[in-house]
């Protein structure tokens, strides 16, 4: 009986792992369904949320990989973060509220975007994403960098400050 319990636990853990993409595991999470960026007059930035991107909006706001297939050409006007996720991914759900908080905290300084890898498979393929969450950090000038897996909020803030906003002369780098 103990063997069965151990095997069942391991199987459950593997099923909940987010090391790949599976359309059959895609769920309908109402919290993840629609996230929009809204700014109203007198707003305290708490309603600012990450903006969901499609292939077309990604090409317009981040990079047009069809027009520039071999060279990184940033299309935005300020640094950004692109969170590649799937609704069924537990670590992705863990960082979603962090991305919401960061969008509000850094409103006007950086843009935060989300890409659903289940709906935007071409984008996931272009970046070779086979494990999520995959967070792309794009400075206004220079080459982007990426982080696989979930990080605590303070780690994201450090990357924003030192890599995207370059507020520290330290030499920290984002893993690829």
pLDDT of residue 29: 40
pLDDT of residue 44: 54
pLDDT of residue 48: 86
Domains of the chain by start residue, with CATH? 22-164 (3.40.30.10)
From residue 63, give the alpha-carbon distance in Å to each of 2, 29, 53, 103.
52, 28, 12, 20
CA count, 13 A, side-chain hemisphere, 163: 22
Cross-strand pairs, 146: 136
- Provide the annotated active-site residues: 89, 92
Q: In what order do the strands lie in the sheet with 145-148?
A: 51-52, 111-116, 80-85, 134-138, 145-148
pLDDT of residue 31: 39
User: Is pLDDT of 165 > 80?
Assistant: yes
Q: Assess contact for 74 and 62: CB atoms under 8 A.
A: yes
List pLDDT tens digits, range 21-47: 443 333 444 333 333 344 334 445 557
pLDDT of residue 46: 57
d(CA 13, CA 32): 22
List pLDDT tens digits, range 110-148: 999 999 999 999 999 999 999 999 999 999 999 999 999
Q: What is the DSSP letter of 163?
A: I
pLDDT of residue 167: 77
pLDDT of residue 168: 57
């Amino acid at each position: 009986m103990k063997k069965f319990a151990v095997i069942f636990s391991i199987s459950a853990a593997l099923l909940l792992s987010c090391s790949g993409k599976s359309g059959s595991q895609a769920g309908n999470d109402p919290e993840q369904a629609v996230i929009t960026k809204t700014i109203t007059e007198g707003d305290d930035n708490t309603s600012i949320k990450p903006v969901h991107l499609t292939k077309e909006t990604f090409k317009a706001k981040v990079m047009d990989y069809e027009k520039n297939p071999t060279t990184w050409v940033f299309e935005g006007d300020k640094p950004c973060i692109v969170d590649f996720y799937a609704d069924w991914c537990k670590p992705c759900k863990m960082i979603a509220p962090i991305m919401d908080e960061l969008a509000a905290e850094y409103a006007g300084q950086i843009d935060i975007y989300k890409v659903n890898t289940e709906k935007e498979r071409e984008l996931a393929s272009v970046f070779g994403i086979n494990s999520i969450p995959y967070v792309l950090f794009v400075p206004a000038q220079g080459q982007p960098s990426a982080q696989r897996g979930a990080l605590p909020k303070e780690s994201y803030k450090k990357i924003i400050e030192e890599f995207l906003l370059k507020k520290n002369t330290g030499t920290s780098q984002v893993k690829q």
